[in-house]
Amino acid sequence: MLLLFCLITVISLSALSQTVVFINAGSRAAWGNQQQLLIDAGGNARYYLREVNGPVKDSIIFILSATQLQSFFEKAETSGFFTLNTSYDGGAVDGAGIYISLNNSGRKHSVSLVNTDVPAINELIRWLNSLLEPQKIVINYGQFVQSKRR
Amino acid sequence: MKSASLILFILFVNWLQSCGPSRRFGTTIERDENNPCQINIIIQVALEGTDADVQAVKNDLEACYSKQCFIPCDKDSTKGCMTKTTIVVKKYGELKEEERDAYHYVYMVDNDGLPSNAYIGTPNAGASSGTWRRNAAPRVYCHEVLHFCGLEDKYCSRIYDPVKDSVIIELTCNPPPEPNGGNCCTPSATDTRCSTPCDGHDHNLMATVGADLSCQNILDIVRKAGLDNCPLECCASGKTFTKPPPEIHVTPGYLHFGDKNTSFGAYGGSTGISIKIKSSWGVGIDAGYYMHTEKDNTYKETSGILTITGGVKYTGNSPAPSKLIISGHAMAGIASYSQKVTVGNNSNKNTVTSAHLNIGAALDLKLNRFWNIRLLQLSYAPTFFYESTQHNFKANAGIVYKLQKR
């Protein structure tokens, strides 16, 4: 009986600690800054700002409430994240981008953007940035720059 | 009057500078019209940004691309051709409509810690574009310009996805293989994206902005234009030769004429042409006329000195970034000294000729392909009138025009 309880506890903790939100945003070159955010099913979040192949410049551990995490997944659903292509490339080299990988109750999907904009991703990250505002974190993959191409 | 002259001079210099190199493409790679042993690379970049952006990017790129590189001959690597890169950076808004397609377009934005980007261009075809961060790390703009010139990155990258517990291939090396046994690099849960130079490119600016621009980068660009070879006429000569275009100079100046018996200062000028026969040596002719007048009531004495000389000219090879050119000349010829004395209504004119030497040096400032400003030319120009030696000195300044096709 005790063994069964321990097994259930371990499985539950393991499920809770499984990363369900992963974001790597920023540099798509061999230099520059990149941000990474990992959130597990329990809302435990780890954020790092670091240079590519370089040291960590900033990090923070915080918790998102179950409601907040749920709202993020709902936003992912309504924005159409799970139906997006896996990759969008603007054609430029170096520059910035974002890789988002989500697991919403076993439904997994990842999207990569490089030097381009996709409205659904902009909408999702805008929502995420509002959730991260208390931590003074702004996920930046170049969406604030109106990139111009002649 | 002096202010007006100064303004006119500044306007004239600006006009001369506006005659700088301008090509049809963002990146133009061509054999020099006058010297088949020289490959000219002209890169034109137009920034949509501030005047400070233009100056900062110009400084950065000019420092980076001052390098001249050697293209060895196939059969004898001690002989070959040279490359010369010219960077033109202008403000996009100041370009004429018809000029814009001949410039790579760069949109300048504030530095948010993210890298600048660029679209890969093609030499001798159109122009490319990119978005650059202000105050970027050294050599970043230099790297992005290499993309404009057609070069690809030489790094690979991987992302670790903890949701899928798998490594995602982001960028691969072209050509393969990937470094580190085909894995490129190893990202982890705490360092989820990694990047590393492709094999053999650890010190390549296309792999890391920690590396300087290399001649290999320049030769890779030149290869894109199919000009990574040296013609037979260059490989057959003793060394890479340069055959600059003929130059015409017009130099107003001052001549101090005289010997122990008589001396005076005369104003006038010189003009002439010089033609290069080797990279440093040339021949030239020079003609000048200087005049001096003395007046005292009804007495007037006018002295005129006409000189015609021919000889050799040596031009030093200044370092590539320097726009200053030092040359020396040694010429011989004849001088004609005419003296006209007028007293009241009577006048008497006397003309004598003499051998004449003209030995000196000049300092030019290169403005563009066509024009130099002769900042100063000093010459010792002795004459031998009346069985005596006049130790004359000349000081001139003016302009030099290089006769070549636009």
Residue A13 belongs to some domain of the structure: no
- Phi, psi values for residue A74, rounded to 5°: -65, -40
Nearest residue on chain A to B162, alpha-carbon basis: A19
CA distance B295 to B301: 6
CA distance A123 to A116: 14
Long-range residue pairs from B268-276, CB within 8 A, at least 24 positions apart, any chain: B268/B305, B269/B396, B269/B398, B270/B307, B270/B394, B270/B396, B272/B248, B273/B246, B273/B247, B273/B248, B273/B249, B274/B246, B274/B247, B274/B249, B274/B313, B275/B246, B276/B242, B276/B243, B276/B244, B276/B245, B276/B246, B276/B315
Q: Which of A47, A53, A72, A100 to mutate to test the interface with B (most CBs of B within 10 A)?
A: A53
Residues of B in contact with A144 (CB under 8 A): 112
Residue A121 belongs to some domain of the structure: yes
Structure tokens at B136: 């970027």
Residue A9 belongs to some domain of the structure: no
CA distance B290 to B307: 9
**Domain total for chain A?**
1
Residue A143 belongs to some domain of the structure: no
Q: In B360-388, which positions are buried (b, 16+ CB within 10 angstroms) versus exposed (e)?
A: bebbbeebbbbbbbbeebebebbbebeee
Crossing angle between the packed helical segments A66-79 and A119-132, to the nearest 10 degrees: 170
Residue A150 belongs to some domain of the structure: no
Q: Virtual CA dihedral for B229, B235, B240, B241, nearest 10 degrees?
A: -110
**Which range of residues forms the domain containing residue A116?**
19-135
Please tell me which residue, A9 or A73, carries the higher pLDDT value.
A73
* Sign of the four-CA dihedral B136, B210, B125, B222: positive
CA distance B23 to B369: 13
Q: Which of A44, A73, A150 to mutate to test the interface with B (most CBs of B within 10 A)?
A: A150
Output DSSP code: residue B383: B
Output DSSP code: residue B246: P
Nearest to B217 by CA among B152, B155, B157: B152
User: Taking the CB of residue B244, how many other CB atoms lie within 10 A of it?
Assistant: 18
| Tens of pLDDT, residues B5-27 | 555 555 554 444 444 456 789 99
CA distance B75 to B72: 9
User: 3-state DSSP call for residue B259?
Assistant: coil
> Is pLDDT above 90 for B244?
no
> Is pLDDT above 60 for A133?
yes
| Tens of pLDDT, residues A13-29 | 444 479 999 999 999 99
**Under CATH, to which class is B247-402 assigned?**
mainly beta
Report the predicted TM-score, pTM, of the whole model to 2 decimal places: 0.69
- Phi, psi values for residue A26, rounded to 5°: 120, -135
For the purposes of burial, counting CB atoms within 10 Å of the CB of B314, is it exposed (0-12), middle (13-18) or buried (19 or more)?
Answer: middle
Q: Which of B141, B161, B163 to mutate to test the interface with A (most CBs of A within 10 A)?
A: B163
CA distance A31 to B205: 12
Pick the range with the lowest mean pLDDT from A30-44, A79-93, A121-135, B18-32: B18-32
Averaged pLDDT, A28-51: 96
Say if the Cβ atoms of A94 and B153 lie within 8 Å. yes
Say if the Cβ atoms of B163 and A34 lie within 8 Å. no
* Sign of the four-CA dihedral B242, B244, B246, B252: negative
| Tens of pLDDT, residues B80-106 | 899 999 999 999 999 999 999 999 999
- Do B145 and B217 touch, CB atoms closer than 8 A? no
Residues of B in contact with A36 (CB under 8 A): 192-193
Output the CA–CA distances (angstroms, integers) from residue B261 to A60, A112, B257, B349, in the order listed. 93, 91, 11, 20
CA distance B217 to B403: 32
Contacts for A90 with CB less than 8 Å, ≥ 6 apart: A114, A115, A116, A117, A147
- Give residue B12's pLDDT: 52
DSSP string over A24-58:
EEEE-SSSSEEEEEEEETT-EEEEEEEETTS-EEE
Say if the Cβ atoms of A29 and B112 lie within 8 Å. no
CA distance B258 to B383: 9
Nearest residue on chain B to A94, alpha-carbon basis: B117
Contacts for B209 with CB less than 8 Å, ≥ 6 apart: A30, A31, B137, B138, B139, B140, B143
- Give residue A7's pLDDT: 46
User: 3-state DSSP call for residue B330?
Assistant: strand
Residues of B in contact with A61 (CB under 8 A): none
Averaged pLDDT, B318-347: 84
> Is pLDDT above 50 for B239?
no
Half-sphere exposure of A81 (CA within 13 A, CB side): 27
Residues of A in contact with B111 (CB under 8 A): none
Averaged pLDDT, B330-359: 93
Rounded to a whole number of angstroms, the distance from the CA of B278 to the nearest CA of chain A is 44
Q: CATH number, domain at A46?
A: 3.30.1560.10
Banded model confidence at residue B238, pLDDT cuts 50, 70, 90: low
Say if the Cβ atoms of A145 and B152 lie within 8 Å. no
Rounded to a whole number of angstroms, the distance from the CA of A19 to the nearest CA of chain B is 5
Banded model confidence at residue B135, pLDDT cuts 50, 70, 90: very high
Nearest to B116 by CA among B203, B49, B185, B188: B49
- Phi, psi values for residue B13, rounded to 5°: -65, -40
> Is pLDDT above 80 for A3?
no
- Phi, psi values for residue B192, rounded to 5°: -80, -15
Q: Locate tokens 């290089």: which residue?
A: B402
- Give residue B254's pLDDT: 97
The domain limits of chain B are 22-152+208-236, 155-200, 247-402
